[in-house]
């Protein structure tokens, strides 16, 4: 790698768009290979798009939107409106990132599908308490 590309960080918009591609793809149960094939790309190229390492051209984003059955604007949801003159709400951006990270894991998608089916609020809170305790224990275990 040369000096110009070695220290290059992905543009935040490219990261956001790539994350939205990944989230939608996973929600539909489409593999990177399947998406790549439908777009005439390699799965490595789809990986690069999803990581924000490569920018998605307008025509390719249009094809991705068509394949994943969403409007092109879906990929920009959660970003500040460039014409609005206001910055995106930090709390909203954080919440969007948390949901996006959660939904990029197979377990997250499955949990998101089944959790609302737990009818009793008390049981949902108990599940949440259990997950929090496991996460806290995991963090303490990493520090030890």
Q: What is the pLDDT of residues 48-100, one digit of tens each?
A: 999 889 999 999 999 999 999 999 999 998 787 777 755 556 666 677 777 77
pLDDT tier for residue 1 given thresholds of 50, 70 and 90: very low
Specify the CATH number for the domain of residue 58.
Answer: 1.10.260.40
The pLDDT assigned to 84 comes to 72
When divided into structural domains, the chain yields a total of 1
HEC secondary structure over 16-81: HHHHHHHHHHHHCCCCHHHHHHHHCCCHHHHHHHHHCCCCCCHHHHHHHHHHHCCCHHHHHCCCCC
Q: What is the chain's percent helix, strand, coil content, to nearest 5? A: 70, 0, 30
122: in domain: no
Mean of pLDDT over the chain:
84
127: in domain: no
144: in domain: no
pLDDT tier for residue 27 given thresholds of 50, 70 and 90: confident
pLDDT tier for residue 121 given thresholds of 50, 70 and 90: confident
């Amino acid at each position: 790698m040369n000096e110009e590309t070695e220290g290059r960080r992905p543009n935040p918009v490219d990261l956001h768009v790539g994350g939205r591609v990944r989230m939608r793809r996973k929600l539909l149960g489409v593999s990177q290979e399947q998406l790549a094939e439908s777009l005439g790309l390699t799965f490595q190229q789809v990986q690069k798009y999803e990581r924000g390492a490569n920018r998605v051209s307008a025509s390719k984003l249009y094809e991705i939107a068509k394949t994943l059955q969403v409007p092109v604007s879906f990929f920009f949801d959660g970003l500040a409106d460039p014409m609005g003159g206001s910055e995106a709400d930090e709390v909203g951006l954080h919440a969007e990132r948390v949901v996006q990270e959660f939904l990029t894991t197979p377990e997250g998608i499955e949990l998101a599908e089944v959790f609302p089916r737990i009818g009793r609020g008390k049981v949902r809170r108990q599940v949440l308490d259990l997950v929090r305790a496991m996460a806290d224990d995991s963090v303490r275990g990493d520090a030890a």
